[in-house]
């Protein structure tokens, strides 16, 4: 209705509807009685030599059906919204109907979720129906970024490798999903030095994970890594408290190889995981969290590093 803001349109539509209904009824009354003098079975029209138009009376039940539609239409317009912007006597609205449906569904679901909310991740991960629900939630809410196999892609973390930027404990995962995360790597080129230094540091970072690198350049870069160590740690293993990446494993969120690493040092990057607390209920977050946890614990056993 956004194009028809004026209240006049509402009156116009209501009037048009009422007049149409009345006209239908009038038409029925006016045409229900014959007008001419004598009786004949045809209208007198003849086509193709012998094709005559018959003028048999309509069956009365047909007329009754017609009246029923008019009565139904009138009743409907009284009870439901339809006459312009009139609300109808029942006060029905599609929004209210939807909310009612949702309330009903929530009530039915809360019974299911209540059972799961009390279960810790390792226990929940073994519950097949719970994981089926978790997978649905993941596909509908998470897969758009993390991929439907949860392995992510460039810029979107792989959730199956048990490598966690912000921690892989139950509490950390729930926090990540509920409130979201912002991962911020500032541009570090100036802090590291000139373009050659950036290249050296990139080689050093590659060396941390034994990736192919220039050994001499890495040696030159090692002292410059001090600037990075504030966040990534002197050993380059990162810090889950601030979400800095572990540089010693062969996992590259923002691209593999020297060029990608230099781009990160030169430009930095702010990566956002949006908060889900307004999209999902606490219980849903619990189940989808357990599903995510289960992806890196396929044997169902919590290992020391993440739990």
Q: Would you tell me which residues interact with other proteins (CB under 8 A)? A: 31-40, 42-45, 55, 57-63, 139, 143-149, 151-154, 156, 250, 252, 255-257
Structure tokens at 221: 């870069």
Q: What is the DSSP letter of 153?
A: B
| DSSP character string of 253-307 | TT-SSHHHHHHHHHH-EEEEE---TTTS-HHHHHHHHHHHHHHT-TTS---TTT-
Residue with smaller CB distance to other proteins, 180 or 255: 255
Distance between CA atoms of residues 109 and 125, nearest Å: 19
Distance between CA atoms of residues 145 and 218, nearest Å: 34
Residues 6+ apart with CB under 8 A from 65: none
Q: Is the CB of residue 126 less than 8 Å from the CB of residue 206?
A: no
Residue with smaller CB distance to other proteins, 224 or 256: 256
CB of 194 to other proteins, least distance (A): 28
CB of 50 to other proteins, least distance (A): 13
Residue with smaller CB distance to other proteins, 99 or 148: 148
CB of 300 to other proteins, least distance (A): 18
Distance between CA atoms of residues 261 and 239, nearest Å: 18
Structure tokens at 188: 């570090």
Give the SS3 label for residue 35.
coil
Distance between CA atoms of residues 40 and 32, nearest Å: 17
C-beta neighbour count of 155 within 10 angstroms: 11
- What are the C-alpha distances in Å from 193 to residues 149, 196, 267, 289? 40, 8, 14, 42
Residue with smaller CB distance to other proteins, 131 or 192: 131
The residue with tokens 């094709």 is 51
Residue with smaller CB distance to other proteins, 16 or 145: 145
Residue with smaller CB distance to other proteins, 225 or 293: 293
CB of 296 to other proteins, least distance (A): 15
CB of 90 to other proteins, least distance (A): 18
CB of 165 to other proteins, least distance (A): 17
Q: Is the CB of residue 169 less than 8 Å from the CB of residue 153?
A: no
Helix (H) or strand (E) holding 182: strand 181-185
Residue with smaller CB distance to other proteins, 52 or 179: 52
CB of 133 to other proteins, least distance (A): 15
Residue with smaller CB distance to other proteins, 126 or 154: 154
Residue with smaller CB distance to other proteins, 37 or 107: 37
CB of 223 to other proteins, least distance (A): 29
CB of 162 to other proteins, least distance (A): 14
Q: List 271's β-bridge partners, or say none.
A: 183
The residue with tokens 């009038």 is 26
C-beta neighbour count of 181 within 10 angstroms: 18
């Amino acid at each position: 209705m956004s194009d028809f803001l004026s209240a006049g349109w509402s009156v116009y539509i209501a009037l048009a509807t009422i007049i149409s209904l009345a006209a239908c009824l009038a038409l029925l009354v006016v045409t229900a009685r014959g007008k001419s003098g004598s009786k004949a079975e045809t209208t007198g029209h003849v086509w193709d030599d012998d094709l005559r138009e018959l003028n048999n009376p309509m069956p009365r039940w047909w007329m009754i059906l017609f009246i029923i539609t008019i009565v139904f239409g009138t009743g409907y317009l009284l009870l439901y919204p339809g006459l312009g912007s009139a609300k109808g006597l029942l006060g029905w609205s599609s929004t209210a109907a939807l909310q009612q449906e949702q309330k009903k569904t929530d009530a039915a679901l809360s019974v299911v979720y209540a059972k799961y909310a009390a279960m810790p991740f390792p226990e929940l991960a073994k519950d097949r129906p719970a994981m089926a629900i978790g997978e649905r939630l993941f596909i509908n809410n998470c897969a758009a970024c993390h991929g439907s196999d949860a392995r992510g892609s460039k810029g979107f973390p792989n959730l199956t490798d048990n490598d966690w930027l912000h921690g892989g404990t139950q509490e950390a995962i729930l926090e990540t999903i509920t409130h979201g995360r912002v991962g911020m790597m500032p541009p570090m080129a100036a802090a590291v030095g000139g373009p050659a230094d950036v290249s050296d540091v990139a080689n050093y970072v590659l060396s941390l994970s034994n990736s192919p690198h220039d050994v001499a350049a890495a040696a030159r870069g090692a002292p410059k890594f001090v600037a990075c160590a504030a966040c990534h740690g002197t050993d380059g293993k990162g810090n889950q408290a601030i979400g800095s990446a572990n540089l010693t494993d062969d996992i590259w969120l923002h691209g593999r190889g020297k060029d990608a690493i230099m781009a990160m040092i030169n430009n930095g990057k702010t990566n956002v995981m949006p908060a889900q607390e307004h999209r999902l209920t606490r219980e849903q977050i619990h189940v989808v969290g357990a599903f995510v946890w289960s992806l890196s614990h396929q044997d169902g056993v919590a290992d020391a590093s993440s739990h």
